[in-house]
């Protein structure tokens, strides 16, 4: 199989000794390798690498493409790269294949090799019907995932998740990672944390994790109301407010009737005045109780704590 290669190495950058290199190889067409190379270079520069074109010999590229030792990954790196201060290398193999249905597919096999501390991350991605835009996206995301893999392994970016009560499921960026209370290694950047526990409302928090720091997420879970309990409370509030209103109206009518016979009339509307007063007081009390329970009905709420870039945000979240 004919192998075509494109090698791109990092140029020295003043004040930054840990420069990088990008190597692109594989049996795919020149256009595919060029698209992948441009995408990976852009990702490397976004990550802070100083990247410039500097072709490597074919033998050196072959060694890097075959490098797969997880214990001593830097042992297969050509000495010429190490002598130039290269400390991290992206290696992408780009190949063309066909799916079972005969559709064209690009296979990306990628490695990130780091000198200190020694580390090797490997991933593969498949791109069907892969036009240039999709190939660019696939290459960029694959390079980003490799950087994130090594950032997690380094243990320099930490996420601490706690809940009250503990034992809640934690989902980080759509992936389940464990249960509270727990501490996890992650990679720098924005994350979405979802905390769920049976019988409680799920809580979602956004947090910014920074290298060398611990990002904390702490929540107090709110019990989820059972539908029957919600219905019973609503029925009670309705009964108190409705019954209280009827009591106030009936009491007013009785007071009016009692006043027509005069204070000493024992035969016409006898007892209407005291009965009206009693109904009015009872109705007013029922109205007050109904409105109180409606106003103070529990709403989903919880304290919130999050650490963002340069600030700690604390508060109380509630629904109205």
pLDDT digits (tens, 9 = 90+) for 83-120: 777 888 999 999 999 988 889 999 999 999 998 888 89
| Domain interval for residue 117 | 6-154
Chain-centroid distance of CA 42 in Å reads: 25
Q: With contact defined as beta carbons under 8 Å apart, do 184 and 171 qualify?
A: no
Per-residue model confidence (pLDDT) at position 12:
43
Q: 42-46, 68-72, 159-163, 258-262: which range is least confident on average?
A: 258-262
What is the share, in percent, of the chain residues with pLDDT greater than 70? 76
Q: What is the DSSP letter of 68?
A: -
Spatial strand order in the sheet of 214-220? 182-185, 158-164, 214-220, 301-308, 311-318
Residue 162: which CATH number?
A: 2.60.40.1120
Q: Give yes or no for a contact between 43 and 88, defined as CB atoms under 8 angstroms apart.
A: no
Task: Check residue 226 and give its pLDDT.
Answer: 60
The verdict on residue 202 lying in a domain is yes
* Structural domains counted in the chain: 3
Confidence (pLDDT) at 320: 44
Task: Examine residue 1 and state whether it is found in any structural domain, yes or no.
Answer: no
Q: 35-55, pLDDT tens digit by residue?
A: 999 999 999 999 888 875 677
Question: Distances in Å between the alpha carbon of 302 and those of 87, 191, 308, 313, 320?
Answer: 47, 20, 19, 14, 13
Whether pTM > 0.85 for this model: the answer is: no
Residues 189 and 241 in one domain: no
Residue 138's CB is within 10 A of a number of other CB atoms, namely 19
Alpha-carbon dihedral sign for residues 238, 241, 246, 247? positive
Residue 311 lies in a domain: yes
Q: Are 232 and 92 part of one and the same domain? A: no
Pick the range with the lowest mean pLDDT from 178-192, 238-252, 291-305: 291-305
- Sheet containing 86-98: which strands, arranged edge to edge? 51-52, 6-10, 19-25, 86-98, 104-114, 119-128
Domain co-membership, 104 together with 246 = no
Could you tell me if 233 and 283 lie in one domain? yes
């Amino acid at each position: 199989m004919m192998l075509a290669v494109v090698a791109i190495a990092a140029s020295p950058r003043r004040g930054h000794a840990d420069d990088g290199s990008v190597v692109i190889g594989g049996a795919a067409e020149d256009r595919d390798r060029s698209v992948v190379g441009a995408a990976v270079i852009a990702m490397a520069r976004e990550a802070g690498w100083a990247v410039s074109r500097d072709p490597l010999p074919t033998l050196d590229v072959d060694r890097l493409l075959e490098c797969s030792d997880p214990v001593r990954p830097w042992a297969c790196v050509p000495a010429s790269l190490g002598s130039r201060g290269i400390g991290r290398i992206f290696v992408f193999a780009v190949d063309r294949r066909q799916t079972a249905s005969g559709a064209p597919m690009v296979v990306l096999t990628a490695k990130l090799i780091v000198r200190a501390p020694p580390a090797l991350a490997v991933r593969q991605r498949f791109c069907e019907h892969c036009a240039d835009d999709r190939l660019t996206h696939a290459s960029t995301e694959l390079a980003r995932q490799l950087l994130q893999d090594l950032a997690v392994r380094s243990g320099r970016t930490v996420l601490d998740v706690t809940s009250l009560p503990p034992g809640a499921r934690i989902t980080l960026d759509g992936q389940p990672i464990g249960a509270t209370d727990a501490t996890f290694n992650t990679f720098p950047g924005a994350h979405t944390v979802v905390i769920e526990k049976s019988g409680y409302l799920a809580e979602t928090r956004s947090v910014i994790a920074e290298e060398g720091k611990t990002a904390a997420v702490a929540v107090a879970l709110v019990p989820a109301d059972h539908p029957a309990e919600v219905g019973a409370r609503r029925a009670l509030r309705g009964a108190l407010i409705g019954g209280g209103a009827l009591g106030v109206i009936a009491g007013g009518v009785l007071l009016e009737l009692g006043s027509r016979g005069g204070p000493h009339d024992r035969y016409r509307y006898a007892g209407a005045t005291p009965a009206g007063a009693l109904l009015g007081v009872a109705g007013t009390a029922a109205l007050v109780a109904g409105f109180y329970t409606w106003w103070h009905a529990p709403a989903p709420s919880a304290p919130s704590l999050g650490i963002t870039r340069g600030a700690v945000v604390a508060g109380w979240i509630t629904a109205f």
